[in-house]
Chains A and B, each alone.
Chain A
Amino acid sequence: MNEYANRYYVVISAIVFVAIIFIIRLFSIQALDPSYKATAESNSTRVVIEFPTRGLIFTRDSALMVENKSSFDLMVIPENVTAFDTSYFIEILQLDSIQFIKEFIKAKKRSYIPAMVYKEIPDSIITKFQELQWMFPGFYLQTRALRHYPLSSAAHILGYIGEVDKNMIEKDAYYKQGDYIGITGIEKTYEVLLRGKKGRKLYLVDAKNRIRGSYKDGEMDETAISGKNIVLSIDSRLQTFGEQLMANKRGSIVAIEPSTGEILCLISSPAYDPNLLVGKNIASNYTQLRNDEANLLFNRAVMAQYPPGSTFKLVNALIGLQENVITTHSHFTCAGGYNVGSFHLGCHHNGSIEFYYSIQGSCNAYYCHVFDRILRNKEFQTIGESYTEWRNYVMQFGLGKRLGTDLAQELRGYIPEASHFDKYYGKDKWTPLRLISMSIGQGELGFSPLQMVNMTAAIANRGYYYTPHLIKNIEDLDTIPSKFKQKHTIDIDSAYFEEIIKGMEMVMKAGTAANAYVQGLDICGKTGTAENPHGKDHSIFVAFAPKDNPKIAISVYIENAGFGSTFAAPLASLLIEKYLRDSISVPQWETMLLNTSINYKTK
């Protein structure tokens, strides 16, 4: 055996050889390759997102419009569940047993991860469950904030929030699957302010993904920043009162504070309860709202394109004066209408009509003549040029263009370009007669109620306006976007505004809206009645009050309600009085309006 003594060296070399291989390998994975360190970190850390509370929304009169209400979801950690009386459990929680069992089986697949098995347990059951919770280990309730609208009002203004979609996730890295985002209305416009900023906490987790402590003592954690509360310019009394008055009618009311452009109320009727678009029923309720034939989700105040009717005469009068084609002394003959050759546009006056009376009595023929003069203005070579000049004036009132308010769905309205007529009749081959109905706010014009009230506010201001907006204040910032502080001035002499305002005053005192006169309010208004091919005329009224230092401008549009004086004017008077005096002196108007329900035939 001793002749093999050298084999000792073979054995010891083999052992050392293996040891060297191990040491080289260990050096490479421990000292050279940094990837294991990174993997170990991601292995053992978990990021938990902290959701900030969404900002609240108040009205200018400090009423809470939007708040957060906690709802309770039933959660389970299947690993911790012991045998329990399933039927009793389902009974006390009033669960849909099939859905519950389906979710529970799904949760069991990853038994140590908390999973939601039932959304939004009704409040009435919460206490009972908490008492009996000891019987069901592994189950617990988790709170989740839902939006709640205590006034059940102003759905079109506020909009709603919902789960963020794929497009948005791709566009903005802030959002992750399952996050909520403002989808329409104020919730959308001021999303970034309202949502705040998500925080995150890094935890150390074990192999079963259970939290074992904070990572690096929390030095990389970020605290969530709550969303900012905002104050809207809405007056809650005006908003809710207006909504009540508009019940069973279609149309829109918008009121503005002329000196600031702040929207005092913005009503689109029919409306819906904003609380419908909250929580687990959002999808089914949304479908129902969308499919309703009254088009409930349509925000008439900013999206509808109504012909302005006779209220538009105010604009034409102003342009006529500014263009020097008429003066306040101009008289035109009304022979029960405007007649050119075989053309006849009806009116109800007889004889020579003077300027102020043309507003007070809303004379169609007078404005046909005015418009005819504007378009035949000698200063311009062609009708195209004079029309374009007129159109530019109109658009200075914010008509036919997007105002840039803080409701994103806002549409621009419609006022045709000269080229539109060129296309029909040939370049400058058209005559004022072809578009004469535009003189009285009919024809190819379509403006939203918001644009109409803005026009009224511009008149009330004697020639300028601020972009109408809903935002009044933002918590901590104490300011609003600067675009809402920018004055838009109209190139019409303010003296001319005074003249037509005199006419508007007469409308209330002895004119077409005399029936809606309220002593001492000093309302200046203008009625309108828009013909429409689908049925009875639309009832229109625009007004502001008081005459000096106006506090409120309003536009009321009620579809198929007949003359402007019948419904729209008393409604405007009610709201103006409510706003200025916080009382109502003619309660019979209120009764009349509340009792009126207009039957809209389904097409």
Chain B
Amino acid sequence: MAKSRNWIANLDWITILIYVLMIFLGWINIYAAVYTEDQPGLIDFSLRHGKQLIWIMAAILIAFIILLIETKFYYYFAYVFYSIFIIILFVVIFIARDINGANAWLEIGSFRIQPGEFAKFATALAMARLMSTYNFDISDRKDLLKVMVIMFLPVVLIIMQNDLGSALVYFSLLIVLYRYGFPGWILLLGIFFVGLFVASFKISTLTLTFFVIFLASVLSAINFRRVTEVSIALGVFTLVLILSWVMIKLVDIKIELYYLVALSFVFSSIIYGYWIYSKKLGFVLLMLGFVFMSLIFLFSVEYIFNNIMGEHQQNRILVLLGEKDDPKGIEYNVNQSKIAIGSGGLTGKGFLQGTQTKYKFVPEQSTDFIFCTVGEEWGFLGTTSVILLFIALFWRLLVMAERQKTPFSMLYGYGVTGIIFFHFAINIGMTIDLAPVVGIPLPFFSYGGSSLWSFTILLFIFIKLDSSRQNIL
């Protein structure tokens, strides 16, 4: 009895409050998104806001159950959960019907769940379990491989279900490795190349080239306090670029500007390389190598895409990146989304007053584009509040993670933060055209039972772990 009172007293009520606030605000906005003047009923279980109410009830029930279960259970059953979900994900590939181009839904009667959503908490648990084992050593290749397998097995299976968005989410678990002590620069490099790959379809190669060069220069300048040298290097490069551009204008040859940039870069880096070699500035050389690799990567992505891939493969990638899609086009979605959010202004049009929302200009508005409703009806004040609410949640989660006594709870806490943050960043990013449209929900806001329940499970397991942080496993 004393023990039970102990964990209840230790529950992090701030996090629970934030959770309740989020699902409440989420429901209000779902109601606004499905609202039409013809159907003003507040509770109608045939409509989405009515259904969401059921999902919310169920989610609260799930949260209670999770809190009631012994903490040890999650530790010991981590691998079991993981195995079960891997099997389900594997089976789903074969039995799922094609819904919106993905075979990611498991159907039981009229009931539809997305195992990929639930596999997240299982993967986070399994990773935390593995990495908290006594003799786990990240620098040991075998152990590293084990973590990677646990992390990327669901990714492979979900990609096979054609659901790139959900698969990408698992990359957010890299944050767990990072906190554990995995060298940061390798993670950054990975993130950088993924970013570069995505950006190469959105931004011209030329712009990216300049960006890469600038980034490398700034980094080396800061790291080695060699502002003078870097400025000289940039100066040489610019000079060579201008000279070659003038020459090309003079002889009147038609050549793409970015080939010129690449050429200038190679030429100037030879000069610069010789100069720093004589001065033995190792890191600067490394930065040059990084720039060089990035450029090669950029050009090869473009080359492979344009010349090696077939049209079918190209389209596939463009659709996955949100550059091409469906009857009306992804661009239409993003445009309408921006219009809805932008038209909200500073204070919004008011609850149920958003014309873009009411008249369904934004597709998927109650699910992936729920943030548009916030933007249109509640304005900049509303969107900022939601963002601040998320920041409060992340801050709370990280504070909780850091106070854990066991590596298992702590690592799981980081996993939870990573997953929710990734959803937050990509989802809001895509509604305001800062991220590709990959179709992942906004945690606790978007309509849908699978996503609400999976985030509830994810969060409440951590709250439970945190509540018994005093009891050392």
Q: Are B184 and A37 in contact (CB under 8 A)?
A: no
A22–B428 CA distance with the chains assembled, in angstroms:
8
A25–B380 CA distance with the chains assembled, in angstroms:
10
Q: Assuming the A-B contacts A36-B339, A43-B339, are A11 and B175 also in contact, with contact meaning beta carbons closer than 8 angstroms in the complex?
A: yes
Chain B residues near A41: list those with CB within 8 A.
343, 355
Chain B residues near A3: list those with CB within 8 A.
181
Interface of B is mostly: helix
A213–B38 CA distance with the chains assembled, in angstroms:
11
Q: Assuming the A-B contacts A11-B417, A30-B379, are A212 and B37 also in contact, with contact meaning beta carbons closer than 8 angstroms in the complex?
A: yes
Stretch at the interface among B2-10, B155-163, B390-398: B390-398
Question: A16 contacts the other chain (Cβ, under 8 Å)?
Answer: yes
Which positions 173-213 of chain A face chain B at CB distance < 8 Å? 204-208, 212-213
From residue A39, how far is it (CB to closest CB) to chain B in Å? 5
Q: Are B380 and A27 in contact (CB under 8 A)?
A: yes
Question: B340 contacts the other chain (Cβ, under 8 Å)?
Answer: yes
Question: A132 contacts the other chain (Cβ, under 8 Å)?
Answer: no
From residue A209, how far is it (CB to closest CB) to chain B in Å? 10
Q: Are A1 and B342 in contact (CB under 8 A)?
A: no
Chain A residues near B322: list those with CB within 8 A.
none
From residue A204, how far is it (CB to closest CB) to chain B in Å? 6
Number of residues in A with C-beta < 8 Å to the partner?
38
Chain A residues near B184: list those with CB within 8 A.
7, 10
Q: Are B358 and A26 in contact (CB under 8 A)?
A: no
A568–B342 CA distance with the chains assembled, in angstroms:
80
A39–B375 CA distance with the chains assembled, in angstroms:
15
A23–B387 CA distance with the chains assembled, in angstroms:
8
Q: Are A26 and B383 in contact (CB under 8 A)?
A: yes
From residue A42, how far is it (CB to closest CB) to chain B in Å? 10
Chain A residues near B341: list those with CB within 8 A.
26, 29-30, 36
Closest chain A residue to B411, Cβ basis = A1
A4–B180 CA distance with the chains assembled, in angstroms:
7
Question: A98 contacts the other chain (Cβ, under 8 Å)?
Answer: no
Chain B residues near A212: list those with CB within 8 A.
36-37, 358-359
A5–B403 CA distance with the chains assembled, in angstroms:
11
**Proximity string of chain B (422-448) to chain A, C-beta cutoff 8 Å, 1 when within and 0 when not:** 000100110010100000000000000
Interface contact tally, CB-CB below 8 A: 120
Chain A residues near B179: list those with CB within 8 A.
1, 4, 7-8, 11
Question: B346 contacts the other chain (Cβ, under 8 Å)?
Answer: yes
Interface of A is mostly: helix
Chain A residues near B407: list those with CB within 8 A.
1
Chain B residues near A21: list those with CB within 8 A.
434
Q: Are A1 and B175 in contact (CB under 8 A)?
A: no
From residue B366, how far is it (CB to closest CB) to chain A in Å? 14
Question: B402 contacts the other chain (Cβ, under 8 Å)?
Answer: yes
Closest chain A residue to B340, Cβ basis = A40
A1–B182 CA distance with the chains assembled, in angstroms:
10
Which positions 578-598 of chain A face chain B at CB distance < 8 Å? none
A201–B127 CA distance with the chains assembled, in angstroms:
63
Q: Are B343 and A40 in contact (CB under 8 A)?
A: yes
Question: A44 contacts the other chain (Cβ, under 8 Å)?
Answer: yes
**Proximity string of chain B (394-427) to chain A, C-beta cutoff 8 Å, 1 when within and 0 when not:** 1100100110000100100010010001000100
Question: B360 contacts the other chain (Cβ, under 8 Å)?
Answer: yes
Closest chain A residue to B180, Cβ basis = A1
Question: A18 contacts the other chain (Cβ, under 8 Å)?
Answer: yes
Question: A340 contacts the other chain (Cβ, under 8 Å)?
Answer: no
Chain B contact residues (Cβ within 8 angstroms of A): what range? Answer: 35 or more
Question: A219 contacts the other chain (Cβ, under 8 Å)?
Answer: no
Q: Are B361 and A33 in contact (CB under 8 A)?
A: no
Which residue of B384, B410, B421 contacts A26 across the interface (Cβ within 8 Å)?
Answer: B384
Chain A residues near B120: list those with CB within 8 A.
none
Q: Are B398 and A29 in contact (CB under 8 A)?
A: no
Chain B residues near A408: list those with CB within 8 A.
none
Q: Are A213 and B180 in contact (CB under 8 A)?
A: no
Q: Are A31 and B360 in contact (CB under 8 A)?
A: no
A44–B358 CA distance with the chains assembled, in angstroms:
10
Question: B345 contacts the other chain (Cβ, under 8 Å)?
Answer: yes
Which positions 252-308 of chain B face chain A at CB distance < 8 Å? none
Q: Are B37 and A26 in contact (CB under 8 A)?
A: no
Chain B residues near A29: list those with CB within 8 A.
338, 341-342, 432
Q: Are B339 and A22 in contact (CB under 8 A)?
A: no
A206–B355 CA distance with the chains assembled, in angstroms:
8
Question: A12 contacts the other chain (Cβ, under 8 Å)?
Answer: yes
Q: Are A26 and B339 in contact (CB under 8 A)?
A: no
From residue B36, how far is it (CB to closest CB) to chain A in Å? 8
**Proximity string of chain B (142-182) to chain A, C-beta cutoff 8 Å, 1 when within and 0 when not:** 00000000000000000000000000000000010011110
Q: Assuming the A-B contacts A11-B398, A21-B434, are A40 and B180 also in contact, with contact meaning beta carbons closer than 8 angstroms in the complex?
A: no
Chain A residues near B359: list those with CB within 8 A.
44, 204-207, 212
Q: Are B342 and A36 in contact (CB under 8 A)?
A: yes
With most chain A CB atoms within 10 A of its CB, the pick from B359, B388, B414 is B359
Question: A83 contacts the other chain (Cβ, under 8 Å)?
Answer: no
Q: Assuming the A-B contacts A19-B391, A33-B342, A40-B355, are A4 and B421 also in contact, with contact meaning beta carbons closer than 8 angstroms in the complex?
A: no
Q: Are B432 and A22 in contact (CB under 8 A)?
A: yes
A371–B338 CA distance with the chains assembled, in angstroms:
88
A205–B358 CA distance with the chains assembled, in angstroms:
10
Q: Are A207 and B383 in contact (CB under 8 A)?
A: no
Chain A residues near B29: list those with CB within 8 A.
none
Q: Are A8 and B402 in contact (CB under 8 A)?
A: yes
From residue A250, how far is it (CB to closest CB) to chain B in Å? 64
Contacts A22-B432, A23-B383, A26-B375 given; 17 further ones with Cβ under 8 A? A1-B410, A3-B181, A5-B402, A8-B179, A11-B398, A22-B429, A23-B387, A26-B341, A29-B341, A30-B341, A30-B379, A36-B341, A36-B342, A40-B343, A43-B339, A44-B359, A207-B360
Interface residues of A (CB under 8 A from B): 1, 3-5, 7-8, 10-12, 15-16, 18-19, 21-23, 25-27, 29-31, 33, 35-37, 39-41, 43-44, 204-208, 212-213
The contact sample of 19 A-B pairs, CB cut-off 8 A, is A1-B179, A1-B410, A4-B181, A8-B179, A10-B184, A11-B398, A12-B395, A18-B421, A19-B388, A26-B380, A26-B383, A26-B384, A29-B342, A30-B342, A30-B379, A30-B380, A43-B355, A207-B361, A212-B358
Closest 7 CB pairs of A and B: A36-B342, A40-B343, A206-B359, A44-B355, A29-B342, A30-B380, A207-B360
